[in-house]
Amino acid sequence: MELNLDRMLESVRDGQWSVDDFDWSQPLQGADHLSAKEKCEAGLMLLAVAGLERQAARIFDLASQHATDDRAAAIYRFFAADEKRHAEAETRLARRYGATEADLPLPTRAMLGVMGLQWRRKDRAVLHFETSAGIVFFELALDSLLIPALKEQVSDPVQAEVFRRIDIDESRHLAMDYWLIEQRGQAYANRNFSGFPADVLTAKSRADRARQALFLVPLAVTTLAGLGSLLVHAPSFRRALTADKIAKYQRRVGSIPRKAPHALASPFYRVAAQIPQGLARWGLAVRGESAPALT
């Protein structure tokens, strides 16, 4: 897939917006059919998404420091600003639903806390490699699962406009995610590893692997517990995550190689893609649906 970085940089620069463009004092509309508890549940999902957007901001910030192309570095700097803005807008939306961060279940707060801790890692190049490989799966989940579920529940004009702007930003983020996956896949296919951190390619010592596991194991455990607990605490939102949305997410993850034809050349990508595919299969199984054939 060819991406014109000059045009992307121009588009992201021109597309910047501000949370101050909105009048946040307007009361929430189109939510009268929801009980106070259901409103709070929708707010909790927004706050959890905001926490994940703040992680995405750090991922893009790190990506800007490791980009080998100046235009890509500038684009990632804008993306980091986009994600901080999304997080702020979602936090303000959540407030209108009557939810605050203190209402988030403890395991969800722990998940966000542990995610924050990984930024203390010293192996910045490997951290960049890992986090930038995984972000596409989060962005697709936001686009296919979370925002559509929230949009469906409430037809509030402020929320609709915030989500419209976030959608536009996210479509640019996804285009760059596919671009990066393709670059990495091509490097593997051509065995051109010059931009890769050596640690990713060389066998690690047992001590290195143990150090990495020190971060990855609690991260995986707290992420599963944090997301699971959120869904337990927000049954109305859990119901909104219908099988067709989960199947759509799974299809989009499965079709990444169509946007990035060399994706599967990267062993790293092949392993990373198993996680969202597995979660989607589990989600469909919980809903009593079988996984559709991947296209």
Q: Which residues bind Fe ion (CB under 5 A)?
A: 53, 83, 86, 139, 170, 173
Distances (CA, A) of 72 to 106, 173, 198: 37, 12, 22
CB of 170 to Fe ion, least distance (A): 5
Closer CB to Fe ion, 89 or 154, in the complex:
89
CB of 173 to Fe ion, least distance (A): 4
Closer CB to Fe ion, 139 or 156, in the complex:
139
52/45 Cα distance (integer angstroms): 11
CB of 259 to Fe ion, least distance (A): 16
CB of 44 to Fe ion, least distance (A): 18
CB of 213 to Fe ion, least distance (A): 28
| Token code pair at residue 30 | 């189109």
Closer CB to Fe ion, 111 or 136, in the complex:
136
194/202 Cα distance (integer angstroms): 13
The dihedral formed by the CA atoms of 90, 22, 171 and 101, expressed in degrees to the nearest 10: -10
269/256 Cα distance (integer angstroms): 10
**Residue 294 CB: number of other CB atoms within 10 A?**
10
| Token code pair at residue 290 | 């079988």
- CB burial of 145-157 (b: ≥16 within 10 Å; e: otherwise) equals bbbbbbbebbebe
CB of 30 to Fe ion, least distance (A): 23
**Burial class of residue 210 (count of CB atoms within 10 Å of its CB; 0-12, 13-18, 19+):** exposed
Do 250 and 173 touch, CB atoms closer than 8 A?
no
